[in-house]
Structure formats: C-alpha cells, structure tokens
Structure 1
Amino acid sequence: MTKTVKILVLLYFLLIMLLEFSVTNFRSIKDKQTLRLVKNQKK
C-alpha cells in the first residue's frame, strides 16, 4: 500500500511539473508571436 502511494505521489508531482513547464512554454511562444506582430506593425 505505501509503495503505491509513493508512486502515486511521484506521478502527481511529475504531472504538476509537466503542466507548469507546458504553460511557461506556451506563454513564451505567445510572447514571441506578439513580439513578431509588433515588429511587423512598426514597419
């Protein structure tokens, strides 16, 4: 029982880390896109 709980907790933490990583990546990609848009508008 304790072994499965440990595994579940590990999986949970991994999931959270993955979610945060994907969110930050998504934001950076969006920022880059907006930066490109702004640069294009300035021309």
Structure 2
Amino acid sequence: DFPYRLNDEQNSVLESPVTRDEIRIAVWGYGEDKSPGPDGFTFEFF
C-alpha cells in the first residue's frame, strides 16, 4: 500500500490538459539563472 493517495479532485487536476498559458507562465516565470533539470542548461540558454 502507498502511504498517501490522491483523492478524485487531485487526480482530475493532474489528468487535465496543459494549457498554453500554463506553459508560458512556467517557462517565463522561471529565473534565467535557474537550471530546469539535471542537464545543467539554464532557461537563459534556451
């Protein structure tokens, strides 16, 4: 068993389509000097 499970509302949010606005906010709201992942490239690079 898993110690924590998502309820129906949380699951619905995670399964909903990602909008262009959500992508824009995620990309442009990130600091230029922050790495998006283990590759080490910053958002400024992209």
Question: Do they fold alike, i.e. is TM over 0.5?
Answer: no
Say which structure, 1 or 2, has more relative contact order (CA 8 Å, 6+ apart).
2
Higher gyration radius (CA): 1
Structure richer in helix, relative to its length = 1
Taking structure 1 as the reference length, the TM-score comes to 0.29
